[in-house]
């Protein structure tokens, strides 16, 4: 497999009255063709900011201040407006949290499909657009005759499926999903994600999946990146994130989700609050909330290191493989 998108040392700043706030700091990762990468973390940790940066959707006061985003070897940050316009939706498309606010309430679904095709010169006539839109509704299991309906006539789950159909209209290589199912009920959520997975197998696009629900992410993704206050602190295979966390933050996150099956354990969460990005201490950003923090952690910032068989982690005190099974760290006493 080859890297479809390669992000190198990406930095995104927000310019505020009190100076620059770095929302994404030196983040590097790759997404391979046909892979599902998840980004998890608390609100304000920069996961959505990365998603917006990948499509260059940021407007002032946000500013991409450094790094490279290579899509099939081309740096997106060097694109001019015209090539950006072609790149967006054709190569990378995005599904947002609120489907209703993505759809134009005064136009029919049919028109909105036509709008996409027309903007990219994908169809010659309205008739051709209708045929294509019908096919797309079919693949997301919406009856064809609903094509001429308005967004308000659909239920929440159907709207999100319409948005997914639109995102797939031009057969993109990468689909970014920013909390696509947070507003939906669990049954519909699972239905939609199963559908996306099935379509992924069919059309072989890659997915960047963003959510704060780690349980869901472990089920859906191949690899997961954990973010904390603008930095990537761990990237590993999805199962390993819960079973063999390396970073104490990942360990804490895994401890914050009660399970539906198995023994009921007392959980602890993570003490303290997320970092204020306008006032960043020296050393590791998580040190203040970390149970393993040492003097070294408070002074020097750890870099991402690759652990064979385990993945990447940015931590001076990488947890042993057995951390989760509880021999080395008794979960009840840690936090």
Partner 1 sequence: MLTKKLNKVSERQVTLEAKDLTIDFPKAKKSLFSPREYLRALNGLNFKMYDRHCLAVVGESGCGKSTSARIATKIHHATSGSISYRGRDVDTIVSNQDLRDYRRDVQMIFQDPFGSLNPLHTIRYHLERPLRIYFDITSRAEMEDRLAAILNQVGLTPAKDVLEKFPHQLSGGQRQRVFLGKTLAIGAHVILADEPTSMLDVSIRIGVLNLMNQMKHEMGKSFMYITHDIATARYIAEETLVLYCGHMVEFGDTEEITQNPQHPYTQLLLAAAPDPNRSIHDKLPTYRSQETPVWSPEKMGCPYATRCPQARVECFEHLPEVKEIAPDHFIRCHLFS
Do residues 95 and 176 touch, judged by C-beta distance below 8 A?
yes
Of positions 267, 280, 321, 334, contacts partner 1 by CB under 8 A: 267
Q: What 3-state DSSP class applies to 188?
A: helix
Stretch that binds partner 1, among 117-125, 170-178, 229-237, 270-278 (CB under 8 A): 270-278
154 binds partner 1 (CB under 8 A): no
Under the binding rule (CB under 8 A), the answer on residue 291 touching partner 1 is no
Q: Quick one: which of 79, 150, 197, 291 contacts partner 1 (CB under 8 A)? A: 197
Q: Of 222, 237, 103, which is closest to residue 166 (Cα–Cα)? A: 103
Site for partner 1 in 163-182 (CB under 8 A): none
197 three-class SS: helix
Residue span binding partner 1 (CB under 8 A) among the ranges 23-31, 52-60, 166-174, 207-215: 207-215
- Closer CB to partner 1, 71 or 251, in the complex: 251
Interaction of residue 42 with partner 1, rule CB under 8 A: yes
A 10 A CB-CB count for 229 gives 22
List, as one string, the DSSP characters of 41-95: --TTSSHHHHHHHHTT---TTEEEEEEEEEETTEEGGG--HHHHHHHHHHTEEEE
266 scored as a contact of partner 1 (CB under 8 A): yes
Residue 263: Cβ within 10 Å count? 5
Of the listed pieces 113-121, 131-139, 263-271, 304-312, which binds partner 1 according to CB under 8 A? 263-271
**Nearest to partner 1 of 71, 205 (CB atom):** 205
Query: Residue 178's beta-bridge partner residues?
Result: 210
- Identity of the residue, 68 or 222, whose beta carbon is nearer to partner 1 in the bound complex: 222
Total number of residues binding partner 1 (CB under 8 A)?
A: 44
232 is a contact residue toward partner 1 (CB under 8 A): no
Considering only 92, 97, 112, 189, the residue that binds partner 1 (CB under 8 A) is 189
Backbone angles phi, psi at 234, to 5 degrees: -160, 140
The count of other CB atoms within 10 Å of the CB of residue 98 is: 15
The DSSP call for residue 38 is E
Candidates 51-59, 68-76, 131-139, 190-198; binding stretch for partner 1 (CB under 8 A): 190-198
- Nearer Cβ to partner 1, position 21 or 184? 184
Q: In what order do the strands lie in the sheet with 231-237?
A: 92-95, 174-178, 206-210, 36-40, 223-228, 231-237, 311-313, 305-307
End-to-end CA distance of the chain: 41
Report, in Å, the least distance between residue 267 CB and partner 1: 5
Candidate list 61, 143, 271, 281; residue touching partner 1; CB under 8 A: 271
Q: With contact defined as beta carbons under 8 Å apart, do 172 and 139 qualify?
A: no
Is 214 near partner 1 (CB under 8 A)? yes
261 binds partner 1 (CB under 8 A): yes
Distance in angstroms (rounded) separating the CA atoms of residues 74 and 76: 6
Q: Say whether residue 54 binds partner 1 (CB under 8 A).
A: no
Kindly identify the residues of this chain, within the stretch 74-133, that bind partner 1 according to CB under 8 A.
Answer: none
Q: Is 188 in the site for partner 1 (CB under 8 A)?
A: yes
**Judged by CB under 8 A, does residue 17 bind partner 1?**
no
Which of residues 115 and 219 has its CB atom nearest to partner 1 in the complex?
Answer: 219
**What span, in angstroms and rounded, lies between the C-alpha atoms of 183 and 168?**
21
Write phi, then psi, for 306 (nearest 5 degrees): -90, 125
Among 86, 134, 146, 190, binds partner 1 (CB under 8 A): 190
Binding site for partner 1 (CB under 8 A): 42-43, 155, 157, 185-191, 193-194, 197, 212-216, 218-220, 242, 252-253, 255-271, 273-274
């Amino acid at each position: 497999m080859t890297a479809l998108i390669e992000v190198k040392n990406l930095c995104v700043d927000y310019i505020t009255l009190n100076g620059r706030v770095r929302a994404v700091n030196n983040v590097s990762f790759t997404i391979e063709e046909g892979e599902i990468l998840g980004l998890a973390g608390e609100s304000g940790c920069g996961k959505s900011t990365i998603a917006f940066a990948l499509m260059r959707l940021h407007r002032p006061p946000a500013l991409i201040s450094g790094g490279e985003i290579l899509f099939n070897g081309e740096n997106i940050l060097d694109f001019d407006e015209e090539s950006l316009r072609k790149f967006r939706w054709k190569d990378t498309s995005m599904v947002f949290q609120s489907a209703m606010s993505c759809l134009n309430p005064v136009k029919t679904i049919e028109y909105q499909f036509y709008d996409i095709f027309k903007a990219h010169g994908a169809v010659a006539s309205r008739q051709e657009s209708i045929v294509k839109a019908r096919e797309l509704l079919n693949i997301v299991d919406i009856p064809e005759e609903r094509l001429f309906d308005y967004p308000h006539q659909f239920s929440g789950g159907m709207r999100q499926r319409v948005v997914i159909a639109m995102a797939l209209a031009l057969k993109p290589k990468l689909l970014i999903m920013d909390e696509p199912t947070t507003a939906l009920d669990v049954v519909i959520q699972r239905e939609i994600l199963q559908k996306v997975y099935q379509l992924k197998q069919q059309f072989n696009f890659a997915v960047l999946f963003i959510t704060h629900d780690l349980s869901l992410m472990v089920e859906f993704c191949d690899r997961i990146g954990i973010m904390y206050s603008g930095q990537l602190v761990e990237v590993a295979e999805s199962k390993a994130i819960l079973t063999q966390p390396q970073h104490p933050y990942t360990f804490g996150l895994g401890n914050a989700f009660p399970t539906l099956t198995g023994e009921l354990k007392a959980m602890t969460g993570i003490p303290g609050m997320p970092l204020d990005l306008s006032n960043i201490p020296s050393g590791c950003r998580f040190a203040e909330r970390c149970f393993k923090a040492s003097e070294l952690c408070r002074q020097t910032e750890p870099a991402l290191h690759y652990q064979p068989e385990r993945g990447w982690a940015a931590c001076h005190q990488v947890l042993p493989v057995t951390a989760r099974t509880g021999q080395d760290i008794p979960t009840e006493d840690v936090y």
